[in-house]
């Protein structure tokens, strides 16, 4: 790896999103650091001094907005550019991120061409000179997709348990947190249907019984879809 390579910090609670973006950037000699929590993201920012940060807005405990607000008042790191990656880029979310100190907001699922554009634009250079849509061989691309899908399926039972508990307790915040990671990962692993169903769940306010009935129906659809996906994956392996 070249010694003057740029440093990138990715802060996102989705293993799939972290792994996908990290692999892509490392192919172009970026030094990549990752975190799944905003408070740890502040620590890593102060320690590693990245040239650019990719930051998810919705994370449990210490979210993206809080991280931006804290970063903005710390003189040593306040000027490091932050690209917010969000699954919900409605005007209010974009404005909240920009007001908190984000440099730019892009939407999930993250497109490689968009990453290239924002990195080159913000860091003022051409850091992907060898990039082309065919840069990664078809075999390598399939290996990456297979690995990301395996990661998603391995973690899904944990998310399913959290969702089921949230439904029983009628806990809207926990439900949205659990569904958020599924939403971000769905399109990344090649199944936008999962992202679409998760998005519908997250858009509800959960102020009336009908919302919870809807959530139960939609989550059941996601569970069935993933179960079929598991069966399909096993057959492919065999």
| Per-residue model confidence (pLDDT) at position 148 | 87
Identify which of 45, 40, 31 has the alpha carbon closest to the alpha carbon of residue 76: 45
Instruction: Give the C-alpha separation, 156 to 178, whole Å.
Output: 10
More confident site: 87 or 2: 87
The chain-wide mean pLDDT, for the chain, equals: 88
At which residue do the structure tokens 């919705």 appear?
A: 58
User: Are the CB atoms for 206 and 171 separated by under 8 Å?
Assistant: no
Q: What domains sit in the chain, N to C, each tagged with a CATH number?
A: 7-123 (3.40.50.2300), 138-237 (1.20.120.160)
pLDDT single digits (tens) 127-171? 988 665 545 556 666 777 788 888 899 989 999 999 999 999 999
Beta bridge partners of 85: 56, 106
Identify which of 97, 116, 121, 123 has the alpha carbon closest to the alpha carbon of residue 7: 123
* Phi, psi torsion values for 82, nearest 5 degrees: -125, 125
Strand 104-107 vs strand 82-86: parallel, antiparallel, or unpaired?
Answer: parallel
Residue 1 above 50 pLDDT? no
Residue 185 above 90 pLDDT? no
- Look up residue 79 and give its two tokens: 């000027």
pLDDT single digits (tens) 15-46? 898 998 998 999 888 999 999 999 999 999 99
- Look up residue 150 and give its two tokens: 């395996």
Q: Is pTM, for the whole model, over 0.75?
A: yes
Q: How confident is the model at residue 3 (pLDDT cuts 50, 70, 90)?
A: very low
Strand 7-11 vs strand 52-56: parallel, antiparallel, or unpaired?
Answer: parallel
| Per-residue model confidence (pLDDT) at position 236 | 65
Q: What percent of the chain has pLDDT over 70?
A: 91
Residue 51 above 70 pLDDT? yes
**Peptide bond preceding 32 in cis form (omega within 30 of 0):** no
Question: How many Cβ atoms are within 10 Å of 135's Cβ, its own excluded?
Answer: 13
Q: How confident is the model at residue 2 (pLDDT cuts 50, 70, 90)?
A: very low
Instruction: Give the C-alpha separation, 121 to 136, whole Å.
Output: 23
Instruction: Give the C-alpha separation, 59 to 36, whole Å.
Output: 8
| Per-residue model confidence (pLDDT) at position 188 | 84
């Amino acid at each position: 790896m070249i010694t003057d390579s740029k440093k990138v910090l990715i802060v996102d609670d989705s293993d799939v999103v972290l792994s996908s973006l990290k692999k892509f950037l490392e192919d172009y000699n970026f030094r990549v650091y990752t975190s799944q929590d905003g408070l740890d993201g502040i620590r890593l920012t102060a320690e590693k001094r990245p040239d650019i940060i990719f930051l998810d807005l919705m994370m449990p405990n210490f979210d993206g907005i809080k991280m931006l607000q804290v970063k903005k008042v710390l003189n040593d790191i306040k000027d490091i550019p932050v690209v917010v990656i969000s699954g919900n880029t409605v005007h209010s979310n974009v404005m909240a991120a920009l007001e908190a100190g984000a440099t730019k907001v892009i939407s999930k699922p993250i497109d490689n061409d968009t990453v290239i554009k924002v990195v080159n634009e913000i860091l003022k250079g051409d850091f992907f000179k060898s990039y082309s849509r065919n840069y990664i061989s078809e075999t390598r691309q399939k290996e990456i997709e297979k690995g990301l899908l395996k990661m998603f399926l391995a973690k899904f039972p944990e998310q399913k348990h959290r969702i089921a508990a949230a439904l029983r307790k009628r806990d809207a915040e926990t439900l949205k947190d659990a569904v958020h990671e599924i939403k971000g990962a769905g399109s990344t692993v090649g199944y936008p249907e999962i992202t679409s169903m998760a998005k519908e769940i997250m858009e509800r306010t959960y102020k009336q019984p009908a919302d919870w009935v809807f959530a139960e129906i939609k989550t059941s659809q996601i569970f069935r879809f993933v179960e079929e996906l598991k069966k399909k994956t096993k057959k492919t392996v065999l």
